[in-house]
Amino acid sequence: EVQLVESGGGLVQPGRSLKLSCAASGFTFSNYGMAWVCQAPTKGLEWVASISTGGGNTYYRDSVKGRFTISRDNAKNTLYLQMDSLRSEDTATYYCARHGSGYWYFDFWGPGTMVTVSS
Protein backbone atom coordinates (compact mmCIF):
# COMPACT_ATOMS: atom_id res chain seq x y z
CA GLU A 1 0.00 0.00 0.00
CA VAL A 2 1.35 3.39 -1.02
CA GLN A 3 1.89 5.65 1.98
CA LEU A 4 3.16 9.22 2.14
CA VAL A 5 3.53 10.88 5.53
CA GLU A 6 4.57 14.50 5.90
CA SER A 7 6.21 16.06 8.94
CA GLY A 8 7.94 19.26 9.96
CA GLY A 9 5.10 21.76 9.82
CA GLY A 10 4.40 24.29 12.52
CA LEU A 11 4.28 27.96 13.48
CA VAL A 12 7.15 30.09 12.19
CA GLN A 13 7.83 33.83 12.08
CA PRO A 14 8.00 35.70 8.77
CA GLY A 15 11.47 35.60 7.27
CA ARG A 16 12.43 32.40 9.05
CA SER A 17 12.95 28.90 7.65
CA LEU A 18 11.28 25.52 7.92
CA LYS A 19 12.07 22.12 6.42
CA LEU A 20 9.32 19.65 5.57
CA SER A 21 9.87 15.93 5.14
CA CYS A 22 7.77 13.23 3.49
CA ALA A 23 8.42 9.57 4.27
CA ALA A 24 7.36 7.25 1.45
CA SER A 25 6.61 3.53 1.63
CA GLY A 26 4.78 0.81 -0.27
CA PHE A 27 6.37 1.55 -3.66
CA THR A 28 9.76 1.95 -5.30
CA PHE A 29 10.37 5.59 -4.39
CA SER A 30 13.23 6.10 -6.82
CA ASN A 31 10.97 5.26 -9.79
CA TYR A 32 8.61 8.19 -9.34
CA GLY A 33 8.71 11.93 -9.66
CA MET A 34 7.48 13.64 -6.52
CA ALA A 35 5.92 16.98 -5.66
CA TRP A 36 4.65 19.35 -3.02
CA VAL A 37 1.18 20.89 -3.35
CA CYS A 38 -0.25 23.44 -0.94
CA GLN A 39 -3.70 24.57 0.11
CA ALA A 40 -4.25 27.81 2.03
CA PRO A 41 -7.05 27.70 4.63
CA THR A 42 -10.45 27.42 2.92
CA LYS A 43 -8.75 27.95 -0.47
CA GLY A 44 -7.94 25.85 -3.50
CA LEU A 45 -4.93 23.77 -4.40
CA GLU A 46 -1.63 25.11 -5.76
CA TRP A 47 1.31 23.14 -7.09
CA VAL A 48 4.50 24.25 -5.34
CA ALA A 49 7.42 22.20 -6.67
CA SER A 50 8.34 18.92 -8.35
CA ILE A 51 11.45 16.78 -8.60
CA SER A 52 12.49 14.08 -11.03
CA THR A 53 13.21 10.49 -10.08
CA GLY A 54 16.93 10.98 -9.55
CA GLY A 55 16.66 14.51 -8.23
CA GLY A 56 18.55 16.09 -11.10
CA ASN A 57 15.60 18.13 -12.35
CA THR A 58 13.54 20.43 -10.16
CA TYR A 59 10.62 22.70 -10.98
CA TYR A 60 8.98 25.51 -8.97
CA ARG A 61 6.02 27.83 -9.15
CA ASP A 62 7.12 31.43 -9.66
CA SER A 63 6.12 32.64 -6.19
CA VAL A 64 8.55 30.26 -4.44
CA LYS A 65 11.51 30.33 -6.83
CA GLY A 66 14.66 31.29 -4.98
CA ARG A 67 13.03 30.71 -1.56
CA PHE A 68 12.03 27.03 -1.56
CA THR A 69 14.18 24.02 -2.45
CA ILE A 70 12.80 20.56 -3.19
CA SER A 71 15.12 17.58 -2.76
CA ARG A 72 14.99 13.84 -2.20
CA ASP A 73 17.04 11.04 -0.66
CA ASN A 74 16.24 7.85 -2.52
CA ALA A 75 18.25 5.76 -0.04
CA LYS A 76 15.96 6.97 2.74
CA ASN A 77 12.74 7.06 0.64
CA THR A 78 12.24 10.64 1.74
CA LEU A 79 11.21 13.87 0.01
CA TYR A 80 12.06 17.28 1.42
CA LEU A 81 11.00 20.90 1.05
CA GLN A 82 13.35 23.54 2.45
CA MET A 83 11.34 26.73 2.92
CA ASP A 84 13.35 29.93 3.43
CA SER A 85 12.34 33.59 3.74
CA LEU A 86 8.82 32.54 4.65
CA ARG A 87 5.94 34.97 4.12
CA SER A 88 2.45 35.11 5.61
CA GLU A 89 1.05 34.08 2.23
CA ASP A 90 2.93 30.77 2.50
CA THR A 91 0.55 29.75 5.29
CA ALA A 92 -1.10 26.54 4.08
CA THR A 93 -1.36 22.82 4.42
CA TYR A 94 1.47 21.25 2.43
CA TYR A 95 0.84 17.90 0.79
CA CYS A 96 3.47 15.50 -0.48
CA ALA A 97 2.25 13.88 -3.69
CA ARG A 98 3.48 11.24 -6.12
CA HIS A 99 3.44 11.93 -9.84
CA GLY A 100 1.74 9.32 -11.99
CA SER A 101 4.18 7.16 -13.90
CA GLY A 102 5.30 9.15 -16.92
CA TYR A 103 2.78 11.91 -16.34
CA TRP A 104 2.43 15.12 -14.35
CA TYR A 105 -0.78 14.34 -12.51
CA PHE A 106 -0.62 13.27 -8.83
CA ASP A 107 -1.84 9.76 -8.10
CA PHE A 108 -1.24 9.52 -4.33
CA TRP A 109 -1.17 12.19 -1.64
CA GLY A 110 -0.09 12.32 1.98
CA PRO A 111 -2.44 13.67 4.69
CA GLY A 112 -0.58 16.99 4.76
CA THR A 113 1.27 19.12 7.30
CA MET A 114 0.20 22.62 8.31
CA VAL A 115 2.59 25.56 8.04
CA THR A 116 1.60 28.83 9.70
CA VAL A 117 3.71 31.91 9.09
CA SER A 118 2.89 34.56 11.64
CA SER A 119 4.59 36.85 14.13
Interface ranges with another protein (CB under 8 A): 44-47, 50, 95, 100, 103-112
Question: Measured from the CB of residue 16, what is the shortest distance to another protein in angstroms?
Answer: 26
Question: Measured from the CB of residue 47, what is the shortest distance to another protein in angstroms?
Answer: 4
Residue 97 and residue 99: Cα distance in Å, rounded? 7
Between 17 and 63, name the residue whose CB sits nearer to another protein: 63
Question: Measured from the CB of residue 72, what is the shortest distance to another protein in angstroms?
Answer: 18
> What three-state secondary structure class fits 64?
helix
Question: Measured from the CB of residue 75, what is the shortest distance to another protein in angstroms?
Answer: 26
Amino acid sitting at position 94: Y
Between 14 and 111, name the residue whose CB sits nearer to another protein: 111
Task: Indicate the burial class of 21 (C-beta count within 10 angstroms; 0-12, 13-18, 19 or more).
Answer: middle
Nearest in space to 37 (alpha carbons), one of 113, 101, 118: 113
Between 17 and 28, name the residue whose CB sits nearer to another protein: 28
Residue 49 and residue 14: Cα distance in Å, rounded? 21
